[in-house]
Amino acid sequence: MIVITGGAGQLGSQIVDRLLDRVAADRVGVSVRDTGRAADLAARGVRVRRGDFTDRDSLADSFEGATQVLIVSTNQSGEAAVAQHVAAIDAARDAGAKRILYTSHQGAAENSVFAPMPDHAATEDYLSKTGTPFTALRNGFYASTVRHLLGRALETGELVAPADGPVSWTTHADLAEAAAIILTEEGRFDGPTPPLTAPDALDLTDIAGIVTELTGRTIRRVVADDAEWTATMIGHGVPADQANMLLGMFHAARRGEFSTTGPELENLLQRTATPVRSVLGVLTTRP
């Protein structure tokens, strides 16, 4: 059985959908904190069990009988994130999984200035020491983030954000399909994968240009001062810790941490990866 954690989440649910295109439902299980959110999957024949990264007993139950476990990374950061990943890895190993997969990031690095990246690096390091075969999916930066970075640009004509750098924006749908392929075509990758990214890396000036083309309205890229931008975020109700973490994303992008691209995602999909232009096209045509 293949067990997916976070099977009701944005990425996990799409992985399950693509997996069900390739294998029978009775070979798929999901580990979710709230089983009610996965009722539709249960109706399709998927095994649904409660699994919480902070409750090891629940993980033992939800991973029971798994031959492969795909751990979708938590939305926590720092020590809490790594501790949760370690708990899930240990539970998968103890359940007898023959391979553990983990949704890492193209920019995973111990010395990254964006907080989630050292967490990914630490998790990969722990995986490498378990003795269980593993695959770390080095996913590109989620393209859905662009929607948040646009802010009020469609209203004001200005895309305001700190100085940034090129990012290999990649869609959840493409990454979910790739994960399903890797799960069902075992042996393709051992250890960290090559970067699973769209072929292009774009900065926010590029994004503003695409939105301008799509809407016919000039969207100007405005570089905000780091401190002023952070203060504005906090003033709008964003917790200070989160605002500072988000600023770290821009710092990392400036250093080129998210600029890596590669052909492996398209090789897996056997098609062109979804471009950011398509994602922006949906955003800019919504009523």
Residue 282: predicted pLDDT:
74
Split at pLDDT 50, 70, 90, the class of 76 is: confident
Domain that includes residue 23, residue range = 2-140+171-192
Mean pLDDT over each residue of the chain, to the nearest integer? 94
Which pTM was predicted?
0.94
* pLDDT for 281: 83
Write out the two tokens for 201. 């890396």
CA distances (Å), origin 95, targets 63, 67, 68, 149, 171 = 6, 9, 10, 41, 31
Q: What is the pLDDT of residues 87-146, one digit of tens each?
A: 999 999 999 999 999 999 999 999 999 999 999 999 999 999 999 999 999 999 999 999
Separation of alpha carbons 102 and 135, rounded Å: 6
Whole-number Å distance between alpha carbons of 211 and 157: 10
The mean per-residue pLDDT over the stretch 54-77 comes to: 94
Task: Please say if the pLDDT value at position 77 is more than 90.
Answer: no
d(CA 176, CA 38): 17
Is residue 200 one of the residues assigned to a domain?
Answer: no
Joined together, the tokens standing for residue 260 give 């890596």
What CATH number has the domain bearing residue 59?
3.40.50.720
Please name the residue that has the structure tokens 């973490």: 245
pLDDT of residue 284: 64
Q: Is residue 56 part of a domain?
A: yes
Average pLDDT over residues 197-203: 95
Q: What is the mean pLDDT of residues 232-254?
A: 93
Residue 227 falls within a domain, yes or no? no
Number of domains in the chain: 1
Domain membership of residue 28 (yes or no) is yes
Place of tokens 């954690």: 5
pLDDT at 186: 80
Angstrom CA distances, 179 to 47, 207, 250, stand at 19, 27, 27
Does the structure show a pLDDT above 70 at 285? no
Asked if residue 275 belongs to a domain, the reply is no
* Alpha carbons 35 and 40: distance in angstroms, whole number: 10
Domain assignment of residue 135, yes or no: yes
60 part of a folded domain:
yes
pLDDT at 287: 47
Q: Is residue 164 part of a domain?
A: no
For the segment 74-84, the average pLDDT, to the nearest whole number, is: 91
pLDDT computed for residue 80 by the predictor: 93
Which pLDDT value is given to residue 151? 87
Q: Please name the amino acid found at residue 123.
A: T
